[in-house]
Structure 1
Amino acid sequence: MRNKPIIHSPRHSKRQGAASQETNLQPQTSFSPAIETNPSDLLFRRVAWRFMPLLFLGYVVAYLDRVNIGFAKLQMLGSLHFSNAAYGLGAGLFFIGYFLFEVPSNLLLHRFGARRWIARIMVTWALLSMVTAWVTTPLMFYVVRFLLGVAEAGFFPGMILYLTYWFPAHRRGKMVALLMAGIPVSGLLGGPLSGFLMRAFDGTWGFGGWQWLFIVEALPSITLGIAIYFGLDDRVADAKWLSDDEKALIQREIDADDSVRTHGSVRAVFGSARVWLLCLILFGVVMGSYAIGFWQPTIIRSTGIDDPLEIGLLTMIPYSFALVSMIAVGRHADRTRERRWHTVVPALVAASGFSLCALGGNSSVLSMIGLTLAVSGVVTTLPMFWALPTAFLGGTGAAAGIALINCTGNLAGFISPTVIGWLKSYTHTLASGLVLTAGTLTLSAVLILTFIPACLANR
């Protein structure tokens, strides 16, 4: 149960005044003090600055540890004599462990608190990611990747759930977009870093560059896990840095948001056709996300570029455009309170980008244009998508529903690298896998337009 602050009578009239003022507020799209001048907006801005930097950095290193296997592949396969099919299966097995433990993990987070649970997740997955440096056989690779998925299960949906404790729906779109900006930022930082580590440390102390990649890039997760343990407050009522009036104002907005949610129990979530539809929609989007995460370096190398550092630097181009696109679309969606078309259009842009990559062949120019469209579209679609389920899920149902949607959708993380790896081994080209990915993104866009009501999306 959510603890509500006690409202003392001397302050009651002030709170009523704040509430009447609050009903006329329009959602803001910037943290600028010049724009956010009323007490409610300034308070939520203060809340965001209190813990969003920690959550953002956590997501940056989470995504980096999840997909750095795509860079390690450039050396790892030759060093260990793995096939593309073996790599694809190992990369995808992460998501089987993720799928099996996602819902239990999020329910435990809801029960024990985000501070302890997210910190536990980060330290555990960092250690397992580091262990990947010592795999020598496909079986060892498969086992470590599966356990890595088990360790990380609950991290992203846990953070989405945590945001529902602090922000109502009309303020949450900006926060989710800020959180998921970790994807392009991870690409901007991780590409050059991974390429540098693989080139500069290759052979140092008898380790390959791909091994140093796993060892070094696991260290920030341990540090941030400790910082999150000491830096987060589980609920509004736990925040000693807020006054009673401020807690009451925040809680009132959250409670008003909860009153329009229709799925508040685990049973309602698992029996909801709408929830399962959203699982399918996310599946199509995630097919694109991990086609990028696991195969982008390979797409660039297929154009004739072999140096890992140069490949890493080139990955900065798509992620730079993606960061701008995500922020701009997120702000526009919050200002207009329209979610459906803000999700559909980026998904179709991503589909066109994958199609162009498939047609581009060995052309560096066409491949980079296609990758820029694909990365920008997928990275923008993801935060827009998460405004849909959080609009009607609440309470324990939110913990279970967000986790169910995320883990089921993320099964595409297993299907995408596995199928694309098999198709590449069979056809000796990535084109067929990229066309398949474009198709799944198009299907997700069609499903949103066909089955997601505008009244749900426009919040």
Structure 2
Amino acid sequence: MSSISASAAGSRAMGALADESATEGALYRKVAWRLLPFIMACYVAAYLDRVNVGFAKLHMLADLQFSEAMYGLGAGLFFIGYFFFEVPSNMLMHRIGAKATIARIMILWSLISAAMMFVKTPTQFYVLRFLLGAAEAGFYPGMILYLTYWFPSYRRARMVALFMCAIPVSGILGGPLSGGIMDLMQGVAGLRGWQWLFLIEAIPSLLLGLAVIAYLDNNIRSAKWLTESEKQILERNIARENATKEQSHMTLRQLVGDLRIVKMAMICFCTVMGQYGLTFWLPTLVQQSGVQGAFRIGLLTAVPFSVAVISMLLVSRSSDRMRERRWHLIIPFCVGAAGLSLSAVFSGNVYLSLAALALAAGGSLATSPLFWSLPTAILSSAGAAAGIAMINSFANLAGFLSPYMIGLIKDATQSTNIAMFVLAGVLLFGAFLTYTVPAKLVNK
């Protein structure tokens, strides 16, 4: 009888655990549906304003007599502004909350992005790109930090991937939209198509920035759409995870001297080199394969970004399910490197080049959400706010280096092929660095 009773008690305990797990699963789905669509929309708008200069380039360079290197320098200067203002912005968000920080960032960058329509000289181009980066600094790392307020690490990779799907989604939507604006609005009211592009695509950022004030909650406790019991479950899970991590405030000297953060920054640098080398130059890569017309180029750039959406979701879901981080990052690094190399080999063939670029996008864009599951598994609280911003700030210097390097190589060789091989090598180095990270630190 005692064994039967014990068995019955065990069954009841297992049933209770299953019920609790189902309840938590439903709760996290509720949180995800509340937060993810909105912050994804904000990031789509942000990324569109950040990289639409790649489409503007198709006509802007000829109109203003800019060289490829001038374009690459201007595109990259965005990240110098980002570098100087990112850590202060993220630290400010940790103190005053997401609502005020994100609204301020979005409204300011929308106004600067619209001002790009008035560019006439290289200096104006450089200054506005720098100011755009300074204005947007803190948005992306702030959103990564924001997700740590709601989701424990074993659920976070999928949430970060969903958020970062905004990058390829902005390419899927933004490619045809940008090409269409440039073709249809050319000459309207005496403005060039690229001028209308900057003006029209700044409007969503402004509207969403205003919406942040009414919609976004600073944290779990301030969410009126959650019951008290739901808040307690979410706060308990975050507190339980934070208890296992470094809690103390980290100074700048400590951040720079922390070898874990240094290595994470180097890995992130490699992900950014591939990501922005591809996104800033994808319209040009498609054009040089033999495609003509801004709208047609825009339609074809949607193909690699569509593949990237599928890749990001599948790989991150597998990573969360298996609670394995390193190999789920190493493999996309290698796939991205293979795709970039093949895009150079097949640069003269539209179909083979597009297939290679799809492979490159599927690999290189999947590295970013997978990467952030590494440092967020180690750091928390103010340490995370500073650490995430420091990592992203350093890594985004690659956003300056990557497009500028490609522009210099294209001016010198009249081809982007050598640059694609260089980017492939950087991704392979990122794979090697990831392999050296101890699995026990990040597989949570």
TM bucket by the smaller chain? Answer: over 0.9
Secondary structure of 1:262's match?
Answer: coil
Residues 263 and 269 of structure 1 are in contact (CA less than 8 Å); yes or no, is this contact kept in structure 2?
no
Q: CA RMSD in A?
A: 1.6
Following superposition, the deviation at residue 264 of structure 1 comes to 3.6
Residue number among 311, 319, 324 corresponding to 2:305 in the alignment: 319
Partner of 2:8 in structure 1? Answer: none
Measure, in 1, the Cα distance between the counterparts of 2:163 and 2:76. 24
Measure, in 2, the Cα distance between the counterparts of 1:203 and 1:227. 33
Residue number among 402, 406, 423 corresponding to 1:420 in the alignment: 406
Secondary structure of 2:201's match?
Answer: helix
Measure, in 1, the Cα distance between the counterparts of 2:185 and 2:20. 48
The residue identity in structure 2 corresponding to 1:296 is: L
Following superposition, the deviation at residue 21 of structure 1 comes to 8.1
Measure, in 2, the Cα distance between the counterparts of 1:430 and 1:70. 15
Over residues 290-327 of structure 1, what are the superposed CA-to-partner deviations in whole Å (9 max), with x where a residue is unaligned? 11111111111111212000000001111111111111
The residue identity in structure 1 corresponding to 2:387 is: G
Partner of 1:287 in structure 2? Answer: 273
The residue identity in structure 2 corresponding to 1:257 is: E
Secondary structure of 1:261's match?
Answer: coil
Unaligned runs of 5+ in 2: 1-12
The residue identity in structure 2 corresponding to 1:448 is: T
Over residues 261-310 of structure 1, what are the superposed CA-to-partner deviations in whole Å (9 max), with x where a residue is unaligned? 13642234332101011111111111111111111111111112120000
Q: How has the CA–CA distance of structure 1 residues 171 and 23 changed in structure 2, closer, same or farther, with 3 Å as cutoff?
A: farther
Measure, in 2, the Cα distance between the counterparts of 1:62 and 1:351. 26
Partner of 1:80 in structure 2? Answer: 64
Over residues 162-204 of structure 1, what are the superposed CA-to-partner deviations in whole Å (9 max), with x where a residue is unaligned? 1111111111111101100101111100000000000000110
Q: How has the CA–CA distance of structure 1 residues 23 and 352 changed in structure 2, closer, same or farther, with 3 Å as cutoff?
A: farther
Measure, in 1, the Cα distance between the counterparts of 2:75 and 2:406. 11
The residue identity in structure 1 corresponding to 2:125 is: F
Partner of 2:351 in structure 1? Answer: 365
Partner of 1:375 in structure 2? Answer: 361
Partner of 1:204 in structure 2? Answer: 188
Measure, in 1, the Cα distance between the counterparts of 2:245 and 2:286. 45
The residue identity in structure 1 corresponding to 2:77 is: L
Following superposition, the deviation at residue 394 of structure 1 comes to 0.8
Instruction: Kindly report which structure 2 residues correspond to 1:179-198, keeping only aligned pairs within 5 A, or say none.
Output: 179-198=163-182
Partner of 1:16 in structure 2? Answer: none
Residue number among 161, 175, 197 corresponding to 1:177 in the alignment: 161
Following superposition, the deviation at residue 99 of structure 1 comes to 0.3
Following superposition, the deviation at residue 23 of structure 1 comes to 11
1:455 aligns with 2:440: yes
Following superposition, the deviation at residue 45 of structure 1 comes to 1.2
1:253 aligns with 2:237: yes
Partner of 1:396 in structure 2? Answer: 382
Measure, in 2, the Cα distance between the counterparts of 1:279 and 1:263. 20
Partner of 2:81 in structure 1? Answer: 97
The residue identity in structure 2 corresponding to 1:120 is: R
Partner of 1:443 in structure 2? Answer: 429
Following superposition, the deviation at residue 252 of structure 1 comes to 0.6
Tell me the percent identity.
Answer: 51
Residues 246 and 383 of structure 2 are in contact (CA less than 8 Å); yes or no, is this contact kept in structure 1?
no
The residue identity in structure 2 corresponding to 1:248 is: Q
Instruction: Kindly report which structure 2 residues correspond to 1:31-50, keeping only aligned pairs within 5 A, or say none.
Output: 38-50=22-34
Residue number among 253, 256, 262 corresponding to 1:276 in the alignment: 262
Unaligned runs of 5+ in 1: 1-19, 26-34
Secondary structure of 1:305's match?
Answer: coil
Partner of 2:134 in structure 1? Answer: 150
Secondary structure of 2:291's match?
Answer: coil
Measure, in 1, the Cα distance between the counterparts of 2:236 and 2:386. 23
Measure, in 1, the Cα distance between the counterparts of 2:419 and 2:16. 49
Measure, in 1, the Cα distance between the counterparts of 2:225 and 2:427. 43
Calculate the TM-score normalised by the size of structure 1: 0.91
Following superposition, the deviation at residue 408 of structure 1 comes to 0.7
Residue number among 334, 337, 341 corresponding to 1:348 in the alignment: 334
Following superposition, the deviation at residue 366 of structure 1 comes to 2.1
Measure, in 2, the Cα distance between the counterparts of 1:351 and 1:139. 34
Residues 195 and 309 of structure 1 are in contact (CA less than 8 Å); yes or no, is this contact kept in structure 2?
yes
1:235 aligns with 2:219: yes
Measure, in 2, the Cα distance between the counterparts of 1:446 and 1:130. 41
Partner of 1:218 in structure 2? Answer: 202
Q: How has the CA–CA distance of structure 1 residues 441 and 36 changed in structure 2, closer, same or farther, with 3 Å as cutoff?
A: farther
Measure, in 2, the Cα distance between the counterparts of 1:257 and 1:193. 42
Task: Name segments (4+ residues, structure 1) moved above 3 Å.
Answer: 20-25
Measure, in 1, the Cα distance between the counterparts of 2:352 and 2:20. 43
Measure, in 1, the Cα distance between the counterparts of 2:22 and 2:285. 49
The residue identity in structure 2 corresponding to 1:292 is: L
Secondary structure of 1:393's match?
Answer: coil
